[in-house]
Amino acid sequence: MKKAWALTKIYINSLYGISGFINSFKTNKKSAFKTIALILLILIGLLGTASAFIIYNIQLYDILRPINQQGIIISNSFIFAAMFTLIFGIVGIIATYFVDKEGDIILSMPLKPWNLLFAKFFTSYLYEAVLSLIIMATGVIVYGVKSGEGLLFYIISFIVSLLIPVIPLVVSYIVIIPLMKVANFLKKKDVVMIISGFIGALFGVVIQLSFQDTMMKMNKNPEVLREIFTFQNGMVSIASRIYPPSTWGTYAIIDISSTRGFTGLMLLLLTAAVAVILLHCFMSEMYLRSLIGSTEVRKSERKMTEKELKMGLRRRNILTSLLLREIRLMNREPIFFLNGPFVIFLIPAILGAMLFIQRDVIAAQLGTILRYNTSSYYSTLIVAGMGAFLGSMSSIASSAISREGKAFMYLKSMPIEPVKYINAKLLHAGIFGVMAGFITCAIGYFLMGVTIGGLMLAFIISQLLMLPSFICGLLLELTWPKLIWDNPQKAVKQNINVVIIIFGGMIFLYGTAAAVYFLLKTPIYGYLVLTIVLAVINVVLYACLISYGRKRFYEIEA
Amino acid sequence: MIEIKGVSKTYGKGKIKALNNINLEVRDGEIFGFLGPNGAGKTTTIKQITGILKPDSGTIKINGIDIVKNPVEAKKHIGFVPDNPEIFNRLRGMEYLNFIGDVYEVPEDERYKRINELSEAFEIRDALSSSINSYSHGMKQKLVLIGALLHNPSVWVLDEPMVGLDPKSAFILKEMMRKHADSGKTVFFSTHVMEVAERLCDRIGIIKKGEIIFVGTLDELRHLRKDNDSLENLFLELIEE
C-alpha cells in the first residue's frame, strides 16, 4: 500500500501541481497568488451556476414541502452528481490515462498492477469528489437550512457526497480500460482516446435521456403516483428504480437515525468498497497491459515514392501553413482536442438532448416571450447567444500560445511575422467558431423553429459575439503564456487564461443579453445597433491585439 | 558573419546575471566552436543570436542585419538546430519540413531536391511519412538538422548538434560543416565534446559564468597556456582557474 500511495502522490503532483503550489509560497509568491486567483475565479464562476441550482432547489422545496416530498431535492442532487461524475469521469480518465513518460519510467519500477491502477484511480477520484461536493452542496444546503438540520446531517451529507463518484468512476474505468487495451494493441492510442471521448459523451447523453424518459413514464403511472403521495418522501424511492444508490444515499442524509437511513449508508459504503475491490481485482492486469508499450507509435512501414514526396511538398503561403500546423497540432493531441474543439460537439449533444426532452416546457416558456410579439427576435438572439457561448468554450484562442510549450522558443527563431502568427491563431479559433455557429443554427432550426432569415442573422451575431473572447484570449496568452509543462493538460485545463475567458465570456454574454432585453426591444433597431456596436468592439480589440502582439511576441521568454 | 557587441542578459528581474558584456565575432568562412561548462551561458548566447531571447543591452548582427531591429530579415540568414529536438511532435516528418519550407520561402523544386538529398544522406527518407512522435531522439535530431539546412542558410547556429546522432550521421554533418565554411559561410556551434572541437574548429570561444574568457585558435590557446596539451586539458585548466 505504501508504494501505491507514493505513486498516487506523484500523480497528484504531476496532474494538479499541489507540491509546486505549496513550494511557490516560499519561492515565487506571484505564481502562488496567480494560482489562488485561478481557484477563486473558478469558484466564483461555479458560484454563478450553483446559485441557479440553489434558487431552483429553494423553489422546489417550497412546492414539495406541503406534500412531504422535499427529500427529492437530495436524491435529485445525488443523481445529478452521479451523472456528472460519470460524464466527466470518462473524459477525465481518458485525459489522464497516459501520464507523460509513464510508459518509460514508472513501468520500470517494482510496482504491482493494482498499485498503478489505484494511484490513477485515486488521482481521478480527487477531482470527481470536488465536483460531487459542489453539486451536492446545492441541494444539501437548501434542505438543511430549510429543515433546520443539525451537524450530523451535514457530516453524513459530506460522507455521502464523497462516496457518490466511486461507482461512476469504477464504471468509467471498466468502459475505458478495454478500449485503451485495444488502442495499445492497434498502436492507435490517439484515435481511440478521441473515440472514447465521444463514446463517453454519448454514454452520458443516453443515460440522461433514458433517466428522464423513465421519470416521465413513472409520473404518468397511477400506481407510482399513489406510492409517491402515500408515503413521506415516496418520490425518493421511485428514483431507486433508476439508480438504487441514490435512494440509499438520500435516506442516509435525510434520516440517518432511522433503520433505512443507517442501512442506506452502510449499503452505499459497502457497494463503493466492493466496486473498488472488484475493479482492482479484475482490471489491474488489463490496465497494466494497456500501459505497456503505450509510448510506442506505429510507424509507416511503407517506403515513400518520389511522387508521394513531391506531392507532399507543396508550397503554401505562410498564413495557410501556420494555420494548417495549428489545426494539426491541436486536433492530433487528444488532450488538446478533448479539452478544446470537442466541447463544441459535446455541449450541443447534451443541450440538444435536454432541449428535445423538455421541448414542451421550452415551447411554453417561449410562449411567454410571444406576448411581446417579437418571439422570432428573441429566438434569433438566443441562438446567437448559444453559438457565441459554444464558440468561446472551445479554448482554442485562450490556450493558443501555451499549447506550443517549449516549441514556442524554437518558433521564435524562425522568420515569422508576429502578425501572421497571431492571425493564424485567430483564424483557427474562428473556424471552430463558425462550426459552433452552424451547430447552434441547426439546433435553432430543428428544435426552436427559427426561420432561415433569423438563422442567418443569428449566425452573424454569434460570430461577432464570440470574436471578442478569441481576441481577449490571445491578448491574455501573449501576456501570460504557460509554456513550461510536462503534461499537455496544463496548457489547457490548468491554464488561468482559459478559465478567465470561459467565465469572462459568460459575463460578457450575460451583459449583452441584459442590454438587449432592457435597451433594444424592437427587432430592426436591435439587430442594427447590436451588429454595429459589436463590430466596433471587434475592430478596436483587433487593432489592440495586433499592435500589442507585434511587440510582445519578441518579448515572451519561457 | 555573426557580430556580438556588449551583450548582457539577466534573468529573474535582474537577479541572475546570465551574460555579462560579451563581445564576439564569428567570421565568414570559419567553423567556430563555443565551449563552456554547464550553465556558463552557451545556450543563452545562442538563443540571443537566433532571436529567441532579447539582450538586455548590446547588439547582435547576422550578416550585418540587427536581430532585434530587423528580426525577420536576420533570421532568414540563419539555420538553427536547438539543443532539444522535441518540437511539433504531432506533425509528420514531411509536414514539418514542408512547414519550414513555407516559413523560409523555399521554392518547391529546391525544397524537393534538398529534402530528398538530405533525408537520403541522414537515412530518414522513409520515415518522413511517419509522425515525429514515433521518431527516436537521433531521428528527431536529423529531422531538425534537415529543416535547419533546407533554405541553404549562410549562417549555421547549432546547439550541441552531435548529440543523439549515430557515427555515420555525425561524420556526414561534420563534413557538411567543413564544406559550408570552406564555401565562405559561417558555422557557429556549441559542444561538450572536446575532440570534435579540436578536430573541426577554426577558432573556439570559451565562456565561463557568463563571460568570454578565451577566443582564438587552438594554437593560440596552447601558446597562451605555454602548454602543448590536449584541448580537453587546456579547457579544464582554464575553467577551473
Query: What is the full DSSP assignment across A383-450?
Result: HHHHHHHHHHTS-TTTTTTGGGTTHHHHHHTS---HHHHHHHHHHHHHHHHHHHHHHHHHHHHHHS--
Give me the residue from A298, A304, A318 closest to B103, CB to CB: A318
Asked if the Cβ–Cβ distance from B88 to A325 is below 8 Å, we say yes
* Local structure of A322: helix, strand or coil: helix
Average pLDDT by consecutive 10-residue portion of chain B (241 residues)?
A: 93 82 93 91 94 94 95 95 86 94 94 92 89 88 93 94 88 92 94 86 92 88 75 76 69
* pLDDT (0 to 100) of residue A373: 45
Contacts of B99 in chain A (CB under 8 A): 321, 324-325
B168 lies in some domain: no
- Give every CB contact of residue B135 below 8 A, 6+ residues apart in sequence: B93, B124, B127, B143
Asked if the Cβ–Cβ distance from A417 to B76 is below 8 Å, we say no
Q: Which of A325, A414, A552, A556 to mutate to test the interface with B (most CBs of B within 10 A)?
A: A414
| H-state helical runs in A165-317 | 166-186, 189-220, 222-230, 234-239, 244-254, 259-291, 306-312
Asked if the Cβ–Cβ distance from A314 to B98 is below 8 Å, we say yes
* pLDDT (0 to 100) of residue A10: 81
- Average pLDDT value for chain A: 83
Judge residue A9's burial from the number of C-beta atoms within 10 Å of its C-beta, 0-12 exposed, 13-18 middle, 19 or more buried.
Answer: middle
* pLDDT (0 to 100) of residue B225: 72
Q: Does B120 touch chain A (CB under 8 A)?
A: no
B180 and B71 share one domain: yes
Confidence band for A370, pLDDT divided at 50, 70 and 90? very low
In sign, the C-alpha dihedral spanning A242, A245, A246, A248 is: positive
Buried b (16+ CB within 10 A) or exposed e, B172-197: bbbebbeebbeeebbbbbbbebbebb
* Euclidean distance between CA atoms B141 and A10, whole angstroms: 31
B69 and B186 share one domain: yes
Which range, of A372-376, A436-440, A553-557, averages the lowest pLDDT? A372-376
Helix (H) or strand (E) holding B199: helix B194-200
B145 lies in some domain: yes
CB A233 within 8 A of CB A71: yes
Residues in chain A: 558
Neighbours of A436 (CB within 10 A): 28
* Euclidean distance between CA atoms A253 and A261, whole angstroms: 7
B143 and B158 share one domain: no
* pLDDT (0 to 100) of residue A416: 96
Q: Does A297 touch chain B (CB under 8 A)?
A: yes
* Euclidean distance between CA atoms A506 and A314, whole angstroms: 42
B40 lies in some domain: yes
Asked if the Cβ–Cβ distance from A409 to B98 is below 8 Å, we say no
DSSP A303: P
The grid coordinates of residue B93 equal 516528418
B19 and B56 share one domain: yes
Most confident of A64-73, A165-174, A521-530: A165-174
Contacts of B94 in chain A (CB under 8 A): 304, 309, 312-313
B143 and B159 share one domain: no
* pLDDT (0 to 100) of residue A502: 87
Residue type, A26: K
**Distances in whole angstroms, Cα of residue B31 to Cα of each of A197, A255, B181, B200:** 52, 83, 6, 7
Number of H helices, E strands in chain A: 24, 0
DSSP A304: P
B182 and B73 share one domain: yes
Q: Regarding beta strands B155-159 and B186-190, do their DSSP bridges make them parallel or antiparallel, or are they unpaired?
A: parallel
* pLDDT (0 to 100) of residue A243: 78
CB B227 within 8 A of CB B56: no
Across the range A197-206, mean pLDDT stands at 71
Q: For chain A, give the percent of residues with pLDDT over 70.
A: 82
Asked if the Cβ–Cβ distance from A297 to B127 is below 8 Å, we say no
Residue A305 Cα, gap to closest chain B Cα (Å): 9
Q: Which residue of A has its CA nearest to B128?
A: A304
At which residue does the C-alpha cell 438572439 appear?
A: A381
* pLDDT (0 to 100) of residue A225: 57
Across the range A239-256, mean pLDDT stands at 82
**CA geometry: angle at A94 spanning A177 and A204, to 5°?**
90
pLDDT tens per residue, range A18-42: 766 677 677 777 777 777 776 776 6
Q: Which of A410, A551, A552, A556 to mutate to test the interface with B (most CBs of B within 10 A)?
A: A410
B71 and B94 share one domain: no
Confidence band for A361, pLDDT divided at 50, 70 and 90? low
B20 and B67 share one domain: yes
Q: Which of B19, B56, B99 to mutate to test the interface with A (most CBs of A within 10 A)?
A: B99
Q: Does A30 touch chain B (CB under 8 A)?
A: no
pLDDT tens per residue, range A454-501: 899 999 999 999 999 999 999 999 999 989 887 788 898 888 899 889
CB A179 within 8 A of CB A286: no
Confidence band for A371, pLDDT divided at 50, 70 and 90? very low
B1 and B68 share one domain: yes
Residue A405 Cα, gap to closest chain B Cα (Å): 9
Q: DSSP secondary structure string, A499-538? A: HHHHHHHHHHHHHHHHHHHHH--SHHHHHHHHHHHHHHHH
Contacts of B127 in chain A (CB under 8 A): 299-300
- Give every CB contact of residue A440 below 8 A, 6+ residues apart in sequence: A348, A383, A384, A386, A387, A390, A458, A462
* Euclidean distance between CA atoms B134 and B141, whole angstroms: 13
Of B183, B186, B192, B114, the closest CA to residue B147 belongs to B114
CB A15 within 8 A of CB A123: yes
Q: Does A38 touch chain B (CB under 8 A)?
A: no
Q: Where are the domains of chain A?
A: 2-291, 318-555
Residue A322 Cα, gap to closest chain B Cα (Å): 8
B146 and B205 share one domain: no
Q: Which residue of A has its CA nearest to B157?
A: A413
* pLDDT (0 to 100) of residue A232: 58
Which range, of A74-78, A98-102, B200-204, averages the lowest pLDDT? A98-102
Q: Does B66 touch chain A (CB under 8 A)?
A: no
The grid coordinates of residue A49 equal 451556476
Q: Does B109 touch chain A (CB under 8 A)?
A: no
At which residue does the C-alpha cell 478533448 appear?
A: A338
Contacts of A320 in chain B (CB under 8 A): 102
* Local structure of B18: helix, strand or coil: strand
* pLDDT (0 to 100) of residue B136: 87
CB A261 within 8 A of CB A153: no
* Euclidean distance between CA atoms A171 and A169, whole angstroms: 5
pLDDT tens per residue, range A401-433: 999 998 999 999 999 999 999 999 999 999 999
* Euclidean distance between CA atoms A282 and A326, whole angstroms: 41
B171 lies in some domain: no
Across the range A89-98, mean pLDDT stands at 79
Of B90, B186, B78, B103, the closest CA to residue A317 belongs to B103
B23 and B8 share one domain: yes
At which residue does the C-alpha cell 529573474 appear?
A: B12
* pLDDT (0 to 100) of residue A342: 86
The grid coordinates of residue A299 equal 510507424
Complex ipTM: 0.92
Asked if the Cβ–Cβ distance from B51 to A328 is below 8 Å, we say no
Give me the residue from A317, A318, A555 closest to B54, CB to CB: A555
At which residue does the C-alpha cell 549515430 appear?
A: B166
* Euclidean distance between CA atoms A462 and A387, whole angstroms: 5
B55 lies in some domain: yes
Judge residue B115's burial from the number of C-beta atoms within 10 Å of its C-beta, 0-12 exposed, 13-18 middle, 19 or more buried.
Answer: buried
- Quote the domain boundaries for residue B98: 84-152
Task: State the CATH number of the domain containing residue B60.
Answer: 3.40.50.300
Between A313 and A422, the higher pLDDT residue: A422
Of A271, A287, A338, the closest CA to residue A119 belongs to A287
* Local structure of B226: helix, strand or coil: coil
* Euclidean distance between CA atoms A193 and A335, whole angstroms: 9
How many domains does chain B divide into?
Answer: 2
Confidence band for A218, pLDDT divided at 50, 70 and 90? low
B72 and B159 share one domain: yes
Judge residue A448's burial from the number of C-beta atoms within 10 Å of its C-beta, 0-12 exposed, 13-18 middle, 19 or more buried.
Answer: buried
Give me the residue from B47, B68, B111 closest to A313, CB to CB: B111
Q: Regarding beta strands B203-208 and B211-216, do their DSSP bridges make them parallel or antiparallel, or are they unpaired?
A: antiparallel
At which residue does the C-alpha cell 554533418 appear?
A: B173
Q: Which residue of B has its CA nearest to A405?
A: B87
CA gyration radius for chain B? 18
pLDDT tens per residue, range A107-166: 888 888 899 899 989 988 998 998 899 889 988 999 999 888 889 999 999 999 999 999
Of A155, A95, A167, the closest CA to residue A125 belongs to A167
